A and B are shown apart, each in its own frame.
Chain A
Amino acid sequence: MAGAVGGLISLPAWANGWTADTVRSTPQLLSRSQDGLLAELVETIIPATDTPGAKGLNVHQFVQKMITDCYPVTAQNTLRNGLDSLDGLAKTAYGNSFAGGDAAQRTALLTQLSQSTDAGQKEFYSLVKGLTVRGYMSSEYVMTNLTHYQFIPGHYYGCVPVAQKNQKTTSQGK
């Protein structure tokens, strides 16, 4: 799309986009091991298939960035405490660390967390899952390659047959 309107919208230097480096939280919200665990957690929520998963798209860093900068301060403890309890829960559930489980074991554990009667666990799960989905869906990779976001539609057509639109694009990507 950008090419269609020429040089007018060539990206200036201040619009380089977010990368793993620019979204790294300062000061660090999590320890190195917590960070690694969060990466495994988001990857379990949205795993690599024939396309990258949440870890490969650095969604765990996005999650930390948002909690550090935007969320109520209490969310920081929710995240840390939740991560710290994760390995213990994994031990009980399948006798290994969280990362040591296979995909099925980890998925089952998260399903269990989502139904937990423990308010802290439930809050931790919905916080991380919500931000994971948001970070994944709004990542450059997904919006560019999978949902085909149109930055410059150049039009608004009011009455388009659904069938015709489905043919044209796989998804609108909003």
Chain B
Amino acid sequence: MSYINIDAQAQNTYDAIVIGSGISGGWAAKELTGKGLRTLVLERGRDVRHVTDYPSTNMQPWEFEHRNQLKREVREANPIISKCYAFYEGTEQFFVKDAEHPYVQDKPFDWIRGYQVGGKSLMWARQTQRWSDFDFDGPARDGFAVDWPIRYADIAPWYSYVEKFAGISGNKDGIATLPDGEFLPPHEWNCVEKHFQKKVAGKYNDRHVIMGRAAHITKPQPIHFQQGRAQCQHRTICERGCPFGGYFSSNSSTIPWAAKTGKMTLRPNSVVHSIIYDEKKGKATGVRIIDADTKQMQEFYARIIFLNAAALNSNLVLLNSTSNRFQNGLGNDSGVLGKYAAFHNYRAGVSGEYDGDLDSTTDGRRPNSPYIPRFRNVHKQEMGFLRGYAAGFSAGRISRSDQSGVGADLKESLLNPKLGGWHVGSHMMGETIPKETNYLALDPNLKDPFGIPQLKISIAYDDNDDKMVKDYQEQLTEMFTEAGFTNIRVRDSHASPGLDIHEMGGVRMGKDPKTSMLNKWNQLHAVKNVFVTDGACMTSTSTQNPSLTYMALTARAADYAVKEMKKGNM
């Protein structure tokens, strides 16, 4: 008997286990297999293979039964996910339905998830802005959360490393708050966006309008061809999956790259229950999963574990990984696990019109837009609120036709639309302050369909966020006015946290094990062979779209982990 058990155990043993195959898990898989580690990648959802599992990617608009509108029954059964802008007839297959994985909204929170190989990297918005020291310095300077254990210099080479492979388009703008990267050519501006850029530069020394840096291959390099990826074709239906690999996703890039090493075992339909901790060895020895098909629990073993389940689920896994040594969750000596969760404030927007540049228009489509880096509280605290916001901006013209008539006149009018004037718009991306009162916990009673405790999410805006919304609306209105835009309207959607899909924290990095979960290498202070490199690790949120930072932190941590293994320290 024991012989058989040892055999089975050996069969289920790897050098490394990666939990999750989304944007950071894919990078962990690529880096660890690339360094020769036999790596098991556990994914709770189904497999999604590049191209062949993108059923709607080549469908023309008229081929959708409901022209991409959601069916009534889908909308009614899924009030949460139906709020997400990217959830429509052509993308339903990539989003978690509300009943699939229930959670407790202690306060209203729209949890948007993608359970499949590739995770949300299939449907993400592809904005990839670097952090600077103005971001990493934030908590220490302004006295919230805890000091980041790293600075820009620690991560800069890793930004470069992941950017070259992923393919990031952008312009070298030379702005200290938003460092330049390894860019492919930037997307084009239209005339009104250029006009706005010039007007803003003329009035403000410290405000810049730049082209967003985005994970689109505008000019493929040999490294992209080696991945089987080609130039972005400007279809702007990215969230259906891209047959060209024109934008970066785990499915088009890191996962097939890891597979090519022959070192990766990808196991879909594997719902992680917990990480196994061995008290005698003083480290984690493996992972317990529930097979989504058989509902059987199974164990896998490895020397190191990368936890990349996406921010909230990584919290859930650690909270559910209890032992005598760690009764409140793995590595949770400090008691901060699940606390200091934060997100980005996307509530507000500003729109307007412009009656200049009417002799020019645009041609084609652009999967990107200009970006305004944070300009508030950058060099010192100067506003009545902490931190600040970045903003998106874009301008465009649409053709419209008079639809008032009936008959041949209506038909004639529909087929001869008139080019309208310019519309301009902006949305805010505000930093929220991680607080102990914004937390995640296990519900003591409710379980999900796999018998795992449901996650209780208790996250809300505060007064700082409201003040920031007001300032954003005022400042963008002023900037729009300066540019001669008219009919300026501000909005505040009052949407619940979550729809930003930038949830972060709960397993924060820090210098002191008494106040943080992870050290500067994303290693659990108390369990050194467990690394958390997704959004859960974020000490603060700053304003940048976070995925690029997760990629860089993951590659950096994987490099460190393998070096430590070779030194015999794991």
**Chain A: residues with CB nearer than 8 A to chain B?**
5, 8-9, 11-12, 14-18, 22-23, 44-47, 49, 53, 65-66, 69-73, 103, 107, 110-111, 114, 129, 133-134, 136-140, 142-143, 146-147, 149-163, 165, 168, 171-172, 174
Interface centre among A53, A110, A149, A162 (most CB of B within 10 A): A162
The interface stretch among B3-11, B56-64, B326-334, B467-475 is B56-64
Contact assessment for A171 and B399 in the assembled complex, using a CB-CB cutoff below 8 Å: yes
Contact assessment for B71 and A69 in the assembled complex, using a CB-CB cutoff below 8 Å: yes
- Complex Cα distance, B330 from A42, in Å, reads 64
Contact assessment for B59 and A9 in the assembled complex, using a CB-CB cutoff below 8 Å: no
CB-CB < 8 A to A143: which residues of B? 60-62
Nearest chain B residue, comparing its CB with the CB of A155: B364
Main secondary structure of the interface of A (DSSP, over half): mixed
Additional A-B contacts beyond A23-B65, A153-B234, A158-B194 (6; CB < 8 A): A17-B62, A69-B65, A111-B406, A129-B406, A152-B234, A152-B235
CB-CB < 8 A to B414: which residues of A? 46, 133, 136-137
- Complex Cα distance, B280 from A104, in Å, reads 90
Nearest chain A residue, comparing its CB with the CB of B357: A159
Nearest chain A residue, comparing its CB with the CB of B188: A158
The interface stretch among B254-262, B415-423, B451-459 is B415-423
Contact assessment for B233 and A138 in the assembled complex, using a CB-CB cutoff below 8 Å: no
Contact assessment for A152 and B233 in the assembled complex, using a CB-CB cutoff below 8 Å: yes
CB-CB < 8 A to B58: which residues of A? 9, 11-12, 15
Given A71-B72, A138-B67, answer yes or no on A171-B415 (Cβ-Cβ < 8 Å). yes
**Chain B: residues with CB nearer than 8 A to chain A?**
55, 58-67, 69-73, 187-191, 193-194, 230, 233-235, 243-244, 358-366, 398-399, 403, 406-408, 410-411, 414-417, 419
Contact assessment for A72 and B234 in the assembled complex, using a CB-CB cutoff below 8 Å: no
Nearest chain B residue, comparing its CB with the CB of A69: B71
CB-CB < 8 A to B408: which residues of A? 47, 49
CB-CB < 8 A to B399: which residues of A? 171-172, 174
Nearest chain A residue, comparing its CB with the CB of B72: A70
Contact assessment for B360 and A161 in the assembled complex, using a CB-CB cutoff below 8 Å: yes
- Complex Cα distance, B72 from A162, in Å, reads 41
Contact assessment for B364 and A156 in the assembled complex, using a CB-CB cutoff below 8 Å: yes
Contact assessment for B191 and A8 in the assembled complex, using a CB-CB cutoff below 8 Å: no
- Complex Cα distance, B193 from A16, in Å, reads 39
Interface centre among A111, A142, A150, A159 (most CB of B within 10 A): A159
Contact assessment for A15 and B188 in the assembled complex, using a CB-CB cutoff below 8 Å: no
Contact assessment for B69 and A70 in the assembled complex, using a CB-CB cutoff below 8 Å: yes
Contact assessment for A140 and B70 in the assembled complex, using a CB-CB cutoff below 8 Å: no
Nearest chain B residue, comparing its CB with the CB of A2: B58
Interface centre among B70, B233, B243 (most CB of A within 10 A): B233
Contact assessment for B66 and A70 in the assembled complex, using a CB-CB cutoff below 8 Å: yes
CB-CB < 8 A to B407: which residues of A? 44-47, 103, 107
Contact assessment for B410 and A140 in the assembled complex, using a CB-CB cutoff below 8 Å: no
Interface centre among B243, B362, B416 (most CB of A within 10 A): B362
- Complex Cα distance, B74 from A69, in Å, reads 10
CB-CB < 8 A to A133: which residues of B? 403, 410, 414
Nearest chain B residue, comparing its CB with the CB of A46: B411
CB-CB < 8 A to A155: which residues of B? 234, 363-364
Given A69-B72, A70-B70, A162-B359, answer yes or no on A138-B234 (Cβ-Cβ < 8 Å). no
Report the minimal beta-carbon distance from A171 to chain B, rounded to whole angstroms.
6
Given A154-B233, A158-B189, A172-B399, answer yes or no on A45-B66 (Cβ-Cβ < 8 Å). no
Contact assessment for B63 and A65 in the assembled complex, using a CB-CB cutoff below 8 Å: no
Nearest chain A residue, comparing its CB with the CB of B187: A156
Report the minimal beta-carbon distance from B234 to chain A, rounded to whole angstroms.
5
Contact assessment for B360 and A162 in the assembled complex, using a CB-CB cutoff below 8 Å: yes
Contact assessment for B415 and A158 in the assembled complex, using a CB-CB cutoff below 8 Å: no
Report the minimal beta-carbon distance from A167 to chain B, rounded to whole angstroms.
12
Nearest chain A residue, comparing its CB with the CB of B395: A158
25 A-B pairs (CB sep. < 8 Å): A8-B230, A18-B62, A18-B65, A47-B408, A49-B408, A66-B69, A69-B65, A69-B71, A70-B66, A70-B69, A70-B71, A70-B72, A71-B72, A103-B407, A133-B410, A134-B67, A136-B414, A139-B62, A155-B363, A157-B363, A158-B362, A159-B194, A159-B362, A162-B358, A165-B363
Contact assessment for B66 and A69 in the assembled complex, using a CB-CB cutoff below 8 Å: yes
Return the contact of B362 from the options A69, A140, A156 (Cβ within 8 A): A156
6 A-B pairs with least C-beta separation: A153-B364, A156-B366, A158-B190, A158-B188, A156-B364, A155-B364
Contact assessment for A157 and B362 in the assembled complex, using a CB-CB cutoff below 8 Å: yes
- Complex Cα distance, B89 from A66, in Å, reads 13
CB-CB < 8 A to A153: which residues of B? 233-235, 363-365
Return the contact of B359 from the options A22, A134, A137, A161 (Cβ within 8 A): A161
- Complex Cα distance, B55 from A41, in Å, reads 35
Contact assessment for B360 and A160 in the assembled complex, using a CB-CB cutoff below 8 Å: yes
Return the contact of B406 from the options A14, A44, A137, A172 (Cβ within 8 A): A44
CB-CB < 8 A to A156: which residues of B? 187-188, 234, 362-366
Given A153-B233, A162-B358, answer yes or no on A65-B364 (Cβ-Cβ < 8 Å). no
